[in-house]
Amino acid sequence: MNIVIIGGVAAGAKAASKIKRLLPDSKVSIYTDDTHVSYSSCGLPYYIEGNFKDYTALLVRSVEEFNKLGIDVYLKSRVDKILIEHKQVLVKDENNAYLVPYDKLIIATGASPLIPNISGINCKNNVFTVRKIEDGINIREKMFNSNHATIIGSGYIGMELLEAFVKNGLKVTVIEKNERIMSMFDDEISDLIKNRIESENNGNFEFLTSEIVSEFIGEDSVHTVKTLSGKEIQTDMVVICTGVKPNVEIARDAGLEIGVTGAIKVNKLMQTSVPDIYACGDCCEERHLVSGRSVWIPLGSTANKEGRCAAINAAGGVEQFEGVLGSAVTRCLNTTMSMTGLTEREASNIGFNPVSVMLEKHDKVGYMPEVGEIVLKVVADKITGMLLGAQAIGSIGADKRINSLTSALVAHMTVDEYSRNDLTYSPPYSPTIDPLINAMLMLQSKIQN
């Protein structure tokens, strides 16, 4: 069995090692246009911040370690075309183009930063995106020679970089085209996130919302960022965090089906529309476990699971990947932001009849030292009582509540069922009545009325 894997960051790397474990005699090769393989892209902001000094900590498995496992890794080797009829891929490296045959092909091409259409964006040596190891190294290096950084986009990575830059003494401007930062949350939660983060602001950062960057001014380097409304921000460096798009070009060219989300369509076996070709990770779409709809939520944890599932099936086994909840967490300074399932806005758009409650509670018993606050919003369907999603922000333990609810969402629990939960209690860990239980009791009376 000869298995070719395109891409080797999370899904591809996971798939390779899983297949080799299942089929030790198989030939497993990873082709990637990247300079590194098997690394934690999610860790880049923490490397930039200086949580650890050596970027190699981000490397999960080196090329040599893959080789030891009997897996061949070809860096800077771009797969340019899939020749489905011939079961071959066309690879181009710095010097050559050559054909590689496969029995099974796994596409794990990932995603690429979405670059907004800004005048003067090209050829600027102080404009960065955050995706690859080099990006992290370059941003960190530039950061040490900068007094001001501009972050375009205020999603997870934008917020993580804000922390990184602030902790390294920079002044920061975050520019967001939406009305609110962290706009994947419901509006009132986004507002609270902003308030919380702003409460730690000593004049060293600013959020410009409802602002669209129109121009980068400067020769080799940007020195001024101009917005449509006419604002001009003097800056030493710019990082674009406006999201990512799935890398589906070679899949589309080969005629593989692309889903409604724009990512590669796969079944629960992670199989594309061509049986011997699998896709996994950020390049393919998933089923949402609450809505049942196709979604594209690229996350490292999902990529790992999909890589494992694709590998088992490619190796001749049977494994199904059921889908995702879009569970996510991050922090910015002392604020944890976490969510799972549907927001109220999403639930409404999809056609649920959402009811929600929002409450602010201590994260432990009030008399304990270092007591923090958690704001929890829980969304349920008024007709069925089914839990639909939750958002939590606040102290470090906010994500604990979300991870309790992910289980509930996977099990399709109702508010009544969850209200019977027996959560752990002790003064340093939670209030006597956990905020989750408070939320359920409040939801019950909203559903009954």
Task: Between 110 and 326, name the residue whose CB sits nearer to its own copies.
Answer: 326
Smaller CB separation from its own copies, 1 or 429: 429
β 104-107/277-279 pair status = parallel
Q: Which residues would be at the binding site for its own copies (CB under 8 A)?
A: 10, 40, 42-43, 46-47, 51-52, 57-58, 156, 289, 299-302, 304-305, 322-331, 336, 338, 340, 365-369, 397, 399-411, 413, 417-418, 420-429, 432-434, 437
∠ at Cα 407 (406, 408), nearest 5°? 90
Report yes or no: 303 and 282 within 8 Å, Cβ to Cβ: yes
Q: Which is nearer to its own copies, 149 or 324 (CB)?
A: 324
Query: Do residues 329 and 381 touch, judged by C-beta distance below 8 A?
Result: no
Residue whose CB is less far from its own copies, 250 or 440: 440
Q: What DSSP line would sit under 279-320, residue for residue? A: E-GGGB-EEBTTT--EE----HHHHHHHHHHHHHHHTT----
| Closer residue to its own copies (CB): 29 or 343 | 343
Strand duo 335-341 + 328-332: pairing: antiparallel
DSSP bridge partners of 294? 287
Non-local (6+) Cβ contacts of 172 within 8 A are 148, 149, 150, 151, 162, 165, 166, 204, 205, 206
Q: How far is the CB of 109 from its own copies (least distance, A)?
A: 19
Residues near 23 by Cβ (< 8 Å), separated by ≥ 6?
A: 1, 315, 316
As given in the structure block, the two tokens for residue 250 are 């070679």
- Name which of 241 and 299 has its Cβ closer to its own copies: 299
How far apart are the C-alpha atoms of 322 and 344, rounded to whole Å?
Answer: 23
Query: Shortest CA distance to 159 belongs to which of 395, 345, 336?
Result: 336
Q: Which is nearer to its own copies, 233 or 376 (CB)?
A: 376
Work out how close the CB of 174 gets to its own copies at its nearest, in angstroms, rounded to a whole number: 19
For the bound state, the minimum distance from the C-beta of residue 404 to its own copies, rounded and expressed in Å, comes to 4
CB of residue 103 vs its own copies: minimum separation in angstroms?
26
As a whole number of angstroms, the distance between CA 219 and CA 265 comes to 42
Residue ranges of alpha helices (H) inside 315-434 are 344-350, 398-410, 415-419
Closer CB to its own copies, 236 or 286, in the complex: 286
Tell me the residue ranges of DSSP E strands in 185-223. Answer: 205-208, 213-217
Q: Which residues are tagged catalytic?
A: 42
The distance of closest approach from Cβ of residue 95 to its own copies in the complex, given in angstroms and rounded to an integer, is 35
Q: Please report how close the Cβ of residue 66 comes to its own copies at its closest, in angstroms.
A: 17
In the numeric block, the tokens 């724009």 are attached to 262
Minimum CB separation of residue 347 from its own copies in Å reads 17
Pairing status of strand 294-295 against strand 111-113: unpaired
Q: What angle do CA 60, 61, 66 make, to 5 degrees?
A: 160
Q: Give Dmax (Cα) for the chain.
A: 70
CB of 425 to its own copies, least distance (A): 4
Give the CA angle between residues 368, 167, 196 to the nearest 5°.
50
**Phi, psi angles (nearest 5°) of residue 246:** -70, 140
List phi, psi (to 5°) of 413. -75, 150
